[in-house]
Amino acid sequence: MRITLSKWPPRRRPNTTGSRTAPKPFLSDSQWLAIADLFPDPTVGPRGGRPWVPSRECLEGILWVLITGARWKDLPERYPSPCT
């Protein structure tokens, strides 16, 4: 009996460079309106704090990582910092 093992197919990296057009958002405007109320309003405490990052941009970045399977450090600059 002969057993042959093969490697997993290589993971395809998302193409994040070379695009001349703005990328299509993962969420349509109607989808965002349906869930926008689930996110907190931007408020600043009395002692200040970090600048507010729009919730939709954060969610789009999270979806980018989940859909592409890429690492957080590969998040394109069009999304907020992975530390957000």
Q: With beta carbons less than 8 A apart as the criterion, state whether 75 and 63 touch.
A: no
User: Is 0.85 topped by the overall pTM?
Assistant: no
Q: Look at residue 50 in the predicted model and tell me its pLDDT.
A: 78
Domain ranges of the chain: 54-84
From the list 5, 79, 32, 6, the residue with the least C-alpha distance to 70 is: 79
CA nearest to 43, candidates 32, 34, 51, 35: 51
Average pLDDT, 10 consecutive residues per value, the chain (84 residues)? 59 58 84 93 77 89 93 91 83
- Which pLDDT does position 52 carry in this prediction? 82
45 bridge partner residues = 48
